[in-house]
Amino acid sequence: MNDELQPSAVERKYHDSAPKALVGWTHVDMPNGIDLRIECARSRIALENDVIEQRDIVMTRNQALLLARYLLKVTGQTLPEEPRPTFWARLRSAFGGSRAPVRRQARKFAS
């Protein structure tokens, strides 16, 4: 067999690891971590023909948190802040609503 006609190992490796577009993901909670399944397509044509590659990445919860923080940082995004309860929700909870009342911390008086 003629070696000149065979792609080199570097060329084969590059072809196998050519850039892919991320088109979706899901996860499954595991006892000690998360199984993250990412779905990628090599091209728009592959996506239109439903040629989607799946890859499972198993990580600890700490690794998932670090990845999330990294992605937030490099994109310049932040997590949305939880909205403050409305006046009526706070009033309802203060007078025995269905939610547990919000307790204030004890005040410190000068002695």
d(CA 26, CA 24): 7
Residue 61 in any domain: the answer is yes
Q: How confident is the model at residue 110 (pLDDT cuts 50, 70, 90)?
A: low
Lowest mean pLDDT among 18-22, 28-32, 105-109: 105-109
Structural domain contains residue 15? yes
Report how many domains make up the chain.
1
Q: Where are the alpha helices (DSSP H) in 1-111?
A: 9-16, 44-48, 61-75, 87-94
Residue labelled with tokens 């990412």: 38
Note whether residue 100 is domain-resident: no
Do residues 37 and 26 lie in contact, with contact meaning Cβ atoms separated by under 8 Å? yes
Question: Is residue 110 one of the residues assigned to a domain?
Answer: no
Q: Are 63 and 27 in contact (CB under 8 A)?
A: no
Question: How close are the terminal C-alpha atoms of the chain, in Å?
Answer: 94
Tens of pLDDT, residues 36-63: 999 988 888 887 888 888 999 999 999 9
| Higher-pLDDT residue of 6, 22 | 22
Per the structure, the complete domain to which residue 39 belongs is given by 11-77
Q: Is the pTM of this model over 0.75?
A: no
User: Is 94 contained in some domain?
Assistant: no
83 within a domain of the structure (yes/no): no
70 found inside a domain: yes
Q: What is the pLDDT of residue 107?
A: 57
